[in-house]
Chain A
Amino acid sequence: MSQSEVKLLEVKEVEKIFGVKVGAFEKKDLHALNRVSFDIYKGKTLSLVGESGCGKTTVGKVILGLYQATKGEVIFRDRDIAKLTPSQRGDIQKDIQMIFQDPYSSLNPRKKIKTILEQPLKIHTNMTKEQRKEAILLLCDDVGIDYSYLERYPHQFSGGQRQRIAIARAMILKPELILADEPISALDVSIQAQILNLMMDLQEKYHATMLFITHDISVVKHISDYIAVMYLGEIVEYASKKELFANPKHPYTKMLFSTVPDIHTPLATESVLKTGEIQSPIDLPQGCFFQNRCQYKEESCMQTHPELYDSGENHLVRCPIVLQKVGIK
């Protein structure tokens, strides 16, 4: 982390607890986020990687204001927005925009593309009709939407084109921060590459900052500057892209890497069955959350919950066994 990097958003010790019914009269706490902290630097991309149920989408929704954090702070422009609803956030809200996973459900089927793209401008700016039109056409060129598309409805487009429209909608206000929640996982492999390239181009052109949320560690290589790996509502490893790809340390990160399908590696062997599934975030275990899937598990892992420590060069790992090896703790 060089000194020139400016923090755009700080997430500090954010906790989110949902109350869920587990029986007719019983309610339990579901710990979606457990003291999650990270910073996003201006103009950089941070990727959050993890399986379904690890809380990565919840982080995005807390930042966007769709959920209010139970504890902790989210600092954006010197204001704590963690517990504010979108309407309480006022002006700040237009600078954080989201691209959702499923382009089939994130566009209003009854509105023309033109209307979908114009709506944010109407609400958040004082542009005249002409200016709005100009802004839309300008953006269409950037994201690769044909002008004739503007008069059509979402159902007339394929998934990849819809995702382009969703990206255009997120970009139209020139937000400082873009939250992209699995923007390519619903798309074909050949379209994924197009959308990833487009997002990188736009980020460069508009100097936007991005939080990229995904379950597939192989796609973050091209787009990220920093990567945080999440497991059961907490960050288990954090490092720069280069460092993480060269030297993954946490057993969970290693597992994620080993399961990525690749044409040059043969199918995983019997050991893959031992990797198991993520457990429920209700009734979290004492000790390390990853213990029941970890192949390096020791006695101590069941007793104390590990903390996130810097193992050198700002490579944070939440695993005492890894840290012992490098001589910390």
Chain B
Amino acid sequence: MALLEVKNLKTHFFTRNGVVKSVDGSSFSIEKGEILGIVGESGAGKSITGFSILGLIDSPGRIVEGEINFDGKDLIKLSENELQKIRGDEISMIFQDPQTSLNPVITIGEQMMEAILYHKKGVSKKAAYEACVEILKTVGLPAARKRMKSYPHQLSGGMKQRVVIAMALLNNPKLLIADEPTTALDVTIQAQILYLMKKLSQEFHSALILITHDIAVVSQLCDKIAVMYAGRIVEYGSKEDIIFNPLHPYTKGLIECLPKLNDEKKRLYQIPGIMPSLLGLPQGCYFKNRCEFSDDECDTYPLQQEINGRIVFCHKVK
């Protein structure tokens, strides 16, 4: 059985201007030790997917439909107290901006120890302290023991993100959700953090969901990829299929518009237009106005097709 199985997840926001269907019927699964990448533009619903798994959706948002089966439990049916026990223990999350995910007025050590002491009753403070130092060493933070007494502002962005990753791994989670973990970092640091995440998720046998807008990052790390557009998954399959043989026009566009180091062309390929607002989605396929292949057929939303184990939503893919 899969470690996490999300079935037909719908997270909607009931705003004054109408219902925003941020996540509208997403289904995917992840096995133990696997890395799943969720790619898409801002507003595609990738972060909301991650937040939904952890039950972090605030009013006016609500999960209106679907199942999130994690290790034999449906997370949607759990109470806030039960979820609180899972967060940071069995499932932990790494956020985009390390600056805001650490408490600025508490030392690194105290924040980290809290994660252990909260979830594991009966662990002494001393043991927790040592465990924290150990994990900081694992993530490659220089002078780990000294850093336990530092405050977040004393660390650089890359170091802070290491601390956040260490904190997420403290309780040996079964599932790690990383929401744009490297977007705020330099490319050199990004390469280090990505390498570290891959290595650690292998060492800890954790499954990892990587949420990002950069398909190049996803291609380097993931086993499976889900491409999201305007709240829905448009293509979902193994990394090899999606990266080297994309079928959906949107996935093709995302890959094509990456700047390439060995490309002699003067202009970059661009996907025309922008993603429609979730309040004014077009009738039929959401991508049709930006798609070069669209015709009358696209006025109805395409049905799910399964081609050699890959799922794609497009009329033009046969």
Contact = CB atoms under 8 A, between A and B. Distances in A.
Contacts of A197: 267-268, 270
Interface string B213-225: 1111101110000
A326 interface: no
B270 A277 contact: no
A159 B42 contact: yes
B47 to A, nearest CB: 13
Contacts of B269: 193
11 contacts: A188-B213, A193-B257, A193-B271, A222-B268, A261-B191, A261-B216, A263-B215, A263-B216, A272-B195, A273-B192, A277-B158
Interface stretch (B78-86, B124-132, B181-189): B181-189
B253 interface: yes
Contacts of B196: 273
Interface stretch (B24-32, B105-113, B258-266, B307-315): B258-266
B317 interface: no
A269 B195 contact: yes
Given A188-B41, A200-B267, A222-B266, A161 B274 contact: yes
Chain A facing B: main interface SS: helix
B156 A277 contact: yes
A189 B156 contact: no
Contacts of B217: 261
A223 B268 CA distance: 10
B291 to A, nearest CB: 13
A260 B261 contact: yes
Given A261-B216, A262-B216, A221 B188 contact: no
Interface of A: 51-52, 158-161, 188-194, 196-197, 200, 215-219, 221-222, 245, 255-263, 265-270, 272-273, 275, 277
Nearest to A293: B188
B274 A158 contact: yes
Contacts of A215: 186-187
Interface string B231-273: 0000000000001000000000111011111010111111100
A222 B267 contact: yes
A20 B246 CA distance: 52
Contact of A217 (B187, B243, B253, B268): B187
B259 A275 contact: no
Contact of B258 (A161, A189, A255, A258): A189
Contacts of A245: 261
A298 to B, nearest CB: 22
B159 interface: yes
A189 B267 contact: no
Contacts of B158: 277
A261 B222 CA distance: 13
B194 interface: yes
A212 B98 CA distance: 27
A112 to B, nearest CB: 20
A190 B270 contact: yes
Nearest to B44: A188
A194 B196 CA distance: 32
B195 A267 contact: yes
Contacts of A160: 274
B66 interface: no
Given A197-B268, A221-B260, A261-B219, 18 more contacts: A158-B42, A188-B41, A188-B42, A190-B41, A192-B257, A193-B259, A194-B270, A196-B259, A218-B260, A222-B266, A245-B261, A259-B188, A259-B191, A261-B194, A273-B140, A275-B191, A277-B156, A277-B188
B33 interface: no
B186 A51 contact: yes
Contact of B260 (A158, A191, A262, A266): A262
Interface string B34-55: 0000000111000000000000
8 closest cross-chain pairs (CB), A and B: A259-B191, A193-B257, A261-B216, A263-B219, A193-B270, A193-B268, A267-B220, A51-B186
A263 B192 contact: no
A161 B42 CA distance: 13
A221 B259 CA distance: 8
A190 B268 contact: no
A45 B220 CA distance: 31
